[in-house]
Amino acid sequence: FAGGNINIKTKAYPDKKILQFKFSLSDKSYLNGNHNYLKSGGSPNDFIGFDDGSRSFPSALSNDQVLSTAASYRPSDMTTVLWYDYLGSALSKFESDFKISSFTPTKPMGIGFYSGNKFQVFSNLEAGYFANLNFSNDITYREFETNQWVYSQHNDGGETLSAYTHRDNERTDKKTSLSGNFSFGLNYNEKHKIKFQNLYTHSSSDWTTQSVGYTPNIEQGIFIKQHYIEKTIHNSTLSGINILPVLDNHLIEWNLNIGRSIRYEPDTKTHNYSAETRTDNGNEYDVYVLDIQGGKGAYREFTDGCLLYTSDAADDLA
């Protein structure tokens, strides 16, 4: 076992002027293959990783109520007919649907911008700044198989291992990453230093999975899940170092920090379809029908949360 601690303190500004711009374009072998790349409806802003509100939970509906045909979720003062009528009206208020479609992927790209400089304000006062902005996007495609088995022991001592579920999956994931940083600092006579730093990061992931196989409830079917999530961290810090010659050069380090973490996960959709054979005028044909076992044919979930945190600290070091 080994342990340790690394304390990294970034500079508020560089020692000399910096001005850089970077651009990158990449490629992946599977992006050139004949794959079934899938996507949900989304919004035009998905390219930069920000939903435009089309996935948001409708403001006209109550966000503390489960919308389901199951009797346990029906308000006690509402008849079944009125509840179904309300559900039909509620569904019409959602902007996004359950449709998925194929698309041709673009090549992943990245952009970066960096700028910084320092200035001599007075003979004993120095100031400077540093700023950077980075953006990148990416597309991944996976084909994978998932299986589950059930192990059983019998009264006669025999044992069996039975297939429980089997799925052949295709997943397309579109990702973005955005980060920005700005810092500003003052240095007075090499004894008093103040730094303000602002950090912002934002990432998004939009993936669609389509699976073919079976479960205990569906003998043969198609299983689809559409998932979109944004994660944001915003952190601001004001810190300083003060050397006090009148107090035997004691060193005081202090900082004030405030930050916010946001998880935005709107409209995660899951819907399953079972294979059926039907007859029309003596002709048989295969169809996939929405599975509604348990009164839940398809469902959507919404998550939106924010965590705010603050801290302050000061150390007096001889």
Report the chain (318 residues): mean pLDDT per 10 consecutive residues: 74 92 91 85 86 85 77 86 87 84 90 96 94 95 92 83 90 96 94 94 95 90 94 94 84 91 92 89 87 73 77 58
**What pLDDT is recorded for position 143?**
93
Residue 288: its H or E element = strand 283-290
Q: Please list, residue by residue across 301-312, b when 16 or more beta carbons sit within 10 angstroms of its beta carbon and e when fewer do.
A: eeeeeeeeeeee
**What pLDDT is recorded for position 61?**
78
**What pLDDT is recorded for position 16?**
92
- The one-character DSSP state at 75 is -
**What pLDDT is recorded for position 120?**
92
**What pLDDT is recorded for position 18?**
95
Q: Determine how many CB atoms are found less than 10 A away from the CB of residue 39.
A: 19
Query: Taking CA 108 as the corner, what is the angle to CA 102 and CA 113, rounded to the nearest 5 degrees?
Result: 140
**What pLDDT is recorded for position 1?**
56
Residue 43 near residue 267 (C-beta atoms within 8 A)? no
**What pLDDT is recorded for position 314?**
62
Main-chain phi, psi angles of 82, to 5 degrees: -65, -35
- The pTM of this model reads 0.82
Give the whole-angstrom CA distance, residue 99 versus residue 224: 10
Going by C-alpha positions, the residue among 139, 158, 316, 143 that lies closest to residue 243 is: 316
